[in-house]
Amino acid sequence: MRKIPALLTVLGLTALSLAGCATVGAPGCSRPPEADAGLRSQVTIAGAVGSEPEVQIDTPMHVDSAATWEVAQGEGTPVTSDDQLVAVDVALFDATTGAKLVSTAFDADQSRVFGMSQWIQTFPPFGKLLHCAAPGARVVMALPPDGVAPEAASTLGVGEGDSTVVVVDVSKTYLTRATGTTVFNDAHDMPTVVRAPNGQPGIIVPEANAPTSILVQTLIRGDGAVLKDSDTARVNYTGVPWEQKGSVFDTTWGANAASVPVGKAPLPGFTEALKGQTIGSQVLVVVPADKVPADTAATVPAGKALVYVIDVLGVDAAATASQ
């Protein structure tokens, strides 16, 4: 039986189509009616959420479509997007023999963060089956033979035509976008922001000279915890140079959100923008050209005033001592 990081080596494989139904999840998040395909009668599970599950399968078990059973319900920010960052523990079992094939450490390590899209590349039904699961949830899944990507199945020892049973404990989730109260700003000659339906910002730079000092505006005030200087914030951001009016030079949207130490942010203006902000906030920061260090990131245009829009999605947990 293999442990992480063996499972993580299969991430990055080609994704397949989603399948299956889901159960009732976090309050306020709507999931399709449950279809457990006999999971309750064929799978027995014991152990607390966050600890190694004890699983007994009435073998041989086979399913033609993905099914799920939410053993324990969580609370907080639910899983709602294939682009969302999560920390989960996973155990994979051969449904034909009942043998455990692979598992993470089940130590509730919230620093072990991956995008849902990475898990979906290995286990295509994950996105639908975990929809609305929140931190503290334990979800049992039955996956059909095509519920594990072919390359992953070979690596993990899943036999051709075999179904699998997966136990997932959700320990941490991040927001997918800024969410909170819109803040009115009346500053003259500052950029304006428009947002796509998924929250991704577009930046409109005015026909004016760039400010001569770092300026920060809170556009959306989140209702989460206040960031501390010692925190490492997880953020999505988009940057444009003032002079090139909306030509994006860097963005994390469509990729994994960035980890940024609040008190010592490597990108210009980020420390000023993040200090005192709350999780869920969206912040606009303008950085004059003389505040952009020559040795900053290669993606940052040298000698130009910069405009960033930053969504604060959460705070990273410190790595456990075992890592």
Tens digit of each residue's pLDDT (9 = 90 or more) over 175-208: 999 999 999 988 788 999 999 999 999 999 999 9
User: Which among 173, 198, 233 is the end of a domain?
Assistant: 173
Better pLDDT: 63 or 300: 63
Does residue 12 form part of some domain?
Answer: yes
Better pLDDT: 216 or 27: 216
For residue 20, what pLDDT is reported?
A: 32
Q: Is the pLDDT of residue 93 over 60?
A: yes
Check whether residue 10 and residue 138 sit in a common domain.
yes
Does residue 321 form part of some domain?
Answer: no
Does residue 57 form part of some domain?
Answer: yes
DSSP state at residue 304: S
Does residue 11 form part of some domain?
Answer: yes
- Residue 245: pLDDT band (50, 70, 90) is low
User: Which among 110, 143, 173 is the end of a domain?
Assistant: 173
Per-residue pLDDT tens over the stretch 147-181: 999 999 999 999 999 999 999 999 999 999 999 99
The tally of domains found in the chain comes to 2
Q: What pTM does this model have?
A: 0.86
What residues have CB less than 8 Å from 197, skipping those under 6 apart? none
Check whether residue 6 and residue 133 sit in a common domain.
yes
Check whether residue 153 and residue 259 sit in a common domain.
no
Does residue 320 form part of some domain?
Answer: no
CATH code of the domain containing 272? 3.10.50.40
Does residue 220 form part of some domain?
Answer: yes
Check whether residue 50 and residue 103 sit in a common domain.
yes
Cis peptide before 60 (omega within 30 of 0): yes
**Least confident among 4-8, 13-17, 278-282, 303-307:** 13-17
**Which residues span the domain enclosing 20?**
2-173
Check whether residue 214 and residue 103 sit in a common domain.
no
Cis peptide before 145 (omega within 30 of 0): no
Q: What is the C-alpha separation between 79 and 130, in angstroms, rounded?
A: 7
Residue identified by tokens 């990273």 is 316
Does residue 90 form part of some domain?
Answer: yes
Q: What is the C-alpha separation between 195 and 241, in angstroms, rounded?
A: 18
48's tokens: 């607390």
